[in-house]
Amino acid sequence: MQIISHRCETLSAIHAAATYDVAYIEFDIRYTKNNKIVVYHNDKTPSGKTIAHITLKALQREVEDTCELAPALVACGNRPALVESKSKGTIARSLPELKKNHRAAVASFHADEILAARINLPSHKTFLLQRYHPFGIIRKALNVDAHGIGLNKNWILLFPYYYNQAQKNELAIYTYTVNNLWLGRRLQALFKKLFICTDYPHKFTKTTPASSTKS
């Protein structure tokens, strides 16, 4: 089973994910007012401040365990990162760090972010994610030369069609977020090359010796 550890938003979570036999460690990135790339899912802080409108220090005063992209990539050890850009312009600002990490993959709902990665990071894998629905995602992925697509598990009834189309067009495919082990096993049995993105990698895979995750 090919597993993606989902939403590892702190260094401790990334370190923990790196002890499991996962294909990717996924986390979200966006930029701050002073153009620091931070690992953060929401566009606002708990108090309602927009991440893009405050500095890194201001963000860390409110959310102490917020980390930057560079240490997050290091924390992945030998596991490839799957970096999801949550806002337009984030990949362009992330190029200095991503260029140092050729195994990192890029995902985004924003086609422009995938295009930026394909132009500036040609050796990095890319995944275009469905936004509100999967209709047209194959065409959109091909238009930006993405390597794969990501589908929400809520559209599971359409998976046979999209899986076959992805295979036909040589696109990788993953689904998020699958936290039920039975469902994950059924999906893997039906779709052999499907990546399963989960919040609970310990349910789906095994731990590996700590030494194997060090870079």
State what percent of residues in the chain have pLDDT above 90.
Answer: 94
Per-residue pLDDT reduced to its tens digit, 139-175: 999 999 999 999 999 999 999 999 999 999 999 999 9
What's residue 208's pLDDT? 65
Would you say residue 181 has pLDDT above 50? yes
> Average of pLDDT values for 107-130?
98
Cα–Cα nearest to 127, from 40, 195, 39, 34? 195
Task: Give the pTM.
Answer: 0.93
Cα dihedral across residues 132, 133, 135, 139: positive or negative: positive
What's residue 83's pLDDT? 99
Q: How many domains does the chain have?
A: 1
Question: Residue 37 in contact with residue 26, Cβ under 8 Å?
Answer: no
What's residue 213's pLDDT? 41
Using CA atoms, how far residue 110 sits from 20, 145, 146, 212, in Å, is 29, 13, 12, 34
Would you say residue 106 has pLDDT above 90? yes
Would you say residue 54 has pLDDT above 60? yes
Would you say residue 16 has pLDDT above 70? yes
Longest dimension (CA), the chain: 49
Cα–Cα nearest to 92, from 73, 67, 118, 71? 118
The CATH number of residue 21's host domain is: 3.20.20.190
> Average of pLDDT values for 10-27?
96
Residue positions counted in the chain = 215
Give me the domain span that covers residue 73.
2-213
Cα dihedral across residues 10, 12, 13, 18: positive or negative: positive
What's residue 214's pLDDT? 39
> Average of pLDDT values for 87-113?
98
Q: What is the mean pLDDT of the chain?
A: 95
